[in-house]
Amino acid sequence: MPDEYRIAAAYIRVSTEDQAELSPASQLVEIRKWAAKNGWIVPDEYVFVDEGISGRKIAGRDAFRHLIGTAKLKPKPFDAILLWKFSRFARNRDDAVFYKSVLRKQLHIEVLSISEPIAEGKLGILMEALIEAMDEYYSINLAEEVKRGMEEKHRRGELQSNPSFGYAVQDNVLVPSEPEAAYIKEIFRRFCEGEGFYPIAKWLNSIGVRTHRGNLFENRTVEYILRNPVYIGKLRWNPSGITHRNFTDTAIVLADGKHEPLIDMDTWNIAQSRIAELKATWKYHGRPLGSNKDWISGLIRCSSCGATMIYAKPNYWKCNHYVRGCCKTSQHVSTELLKEAIIRRLQIDLETDFPIQYEVIRIKDGGEEKLNALRTQQDSLTKKLGRLRDAYLAGADTVEEYKAAKEPAQEKLYEVAAQLKKAEKESAQLGTPVIIKKSIRSALKTITSDTATMEQKSEAAHSIIEYATWDKSQNLLQMHYRLIF
């Protein structure tokens, strides 16, 4: 039994790419057994688990990012990170080398594999590098095997994705699903007879039809349906990844599916020809041609659905969802009227005796980062004192050892608590009417200036306005302020 224990964290990752591996609970049991034999303690608050996530990338590994963030706290919360295998840490050598270097050289935290003991010195460096290379090779080779399997499955006409609108799945084969299948046929009929994407989306939304995800239809949703070859009995697959609406991507592979087509080839060809004609002549401009971004861009929202209002020629603003067919209210308003309403609202709020009716959406740079850092430090010190007390009560530390470790930690805790109290008091004093009026006055001066550039006006408006809602039926503009201090 070791005479002295040190604190360690445990990182556990499981994913579908690894066939024979321990469950998260089993990994933690083995890690704690190894830790107890080798002089380490793994507290519950330092157990980090990513489930069902590949180790090829850091993106999406929330527990891993939390682990690294915790390791950077001061004072250092633990002295090592324990793994079941090095492959749990990363299956990408670049990521493995980078994060291990940060942990070991900058933070002085070891990364240890309990099932892959590494010798110290030059030989250990070589062994660990070989393990990392083998892990990356395994991951890359597995990805290639999976890709080949998917390609073969696709060529056999087997489904390997969620069913498209109009279909359901039975025995891994698409089958028509009513009434969606009838809507698909009607979409193609209406489009081939001259209706556009937007009117069709508006019609679908008006009768209560929703996508498989429960969303409203947009003009681009209708376009995607009209360009999806699944409705003529084909399956589309891109081996290089997601197509991102690039329907002409040369990497796309088409194969004959096993399912029943909903659309005949004549209808399909008519639809594709009409889409090509529309694309050749259709151009969209979200703001006046040849101009800089307007200072009200991105600020105004539709009071009906909450979507951002966008510029429409010749000099008007409309609800973006209305343009896409998702909203029934256009909120059509001229640029001049909208700007006059915003400026007048700012002037009224500047002249009004507080309290005025306003809603604070977000406070930028109001000391939140500092507050969170102090709270985290306070929590860490409190937990450290608790662990010291537990070690003393369990007989692991003598009275002298407990006292020697407790006093500096407690002194630091008092210091952090005082800093936190002061910071919270300063933060609470920020939202006074004087500062609010000062922010409005400064922004209004820039917005109404004849010499200020469009970018300067935009920056001034966005510095105090989170967003404003426009209701055409009531001729009403509601302002939601963002307070900057």
pLDDT (0 to 100) of residue 137:
52
What type of residue sits at position 462? H
pLDDT by residue for the chain (485 residues), tens only, comes to: 455 678 999 998 877 555 446 788 888 998 999 998 889 999 999 999 887 666 455 666 788 888 888 888 888 899 999 988 877 777 666 666 677 777 887 888 988 888 877 656 556 565 666 656 665 555 555 555 555 555 555 455 556 667 889 999 888 788 899 999 999 999 999 999 988 888 899 899 989 999 988 888 988 899 989 988 889 988 876 666 565 566 666 667 677 888 899 999 999 999 999 988 887 765 444 444 334 457 888 888 888 887 888 887 778 888 888 877 777 777 778 888 888 888 888 888 777 765 444 444 444 444 566 777 788 788 878 877 877 776 666 555 666 777 787 888 888 888 888 888 887 776 655 544 555 677 788 888 888 888 888 888 888 888 778 888 888 888 888 877 765 44
Question: In sequence order, which ranges of 282-367 are alpha helices (DSSP H)?
Answer: 320-324, 335-351
pLDDT (0 to 100) of residue 350:
79
CB 181 within 8 A of CB 167: yes
DSSP assignment letter at 265? H
pLDDT (0 to 100) of residue 434:
52
CATH superfamily of 6-143: Resolvase, N-terminal catalytic domain (3.40.50.1390)
pLDDT (0 to 100) of residue 479:
79
pLDDT (0 to 100) of residue 244:
59
363 Rama class: left (phi>0) / alpha (psi -120 to 50) / beta: beta
CATH superfamily of 167-271: Putative Large Serine Recombinase; Chain B, Domain 2 (3.90.1750.20)
> Alpha-carbon dihedral of residues 466, 471, 477, 479, nearest 10 degrees?
-20
pLDDT (0 to 100) of residue 444:
86
d(CA 355, CA 118): 67
pLDDT (0 to 100) of residue 173:
84
d(CA 369, CA 466): 20
- The residue ranges of every structural domain in the chain are 6-143, 167-271, 300-361+433-484, 367-428
d(CA 350, CA 347): 5
SS3 22: coil
pLDDT (0 to 100) of residue 158:
58
Nearest to 83 by CA among 40, 31, 120: 31
> Helix %, strand %, coil % for the chain, to 5?
50, 15, 35
CB 420 within 8 A of CB 371: yes
- pTM to 2 decimals? 0.41
Does an H or E element contain 226, and which? helix 219-226
pLDDT (0 to 100) of residue 7:
92
Task: List the structure tokens of 82.
Answer: 């324990």
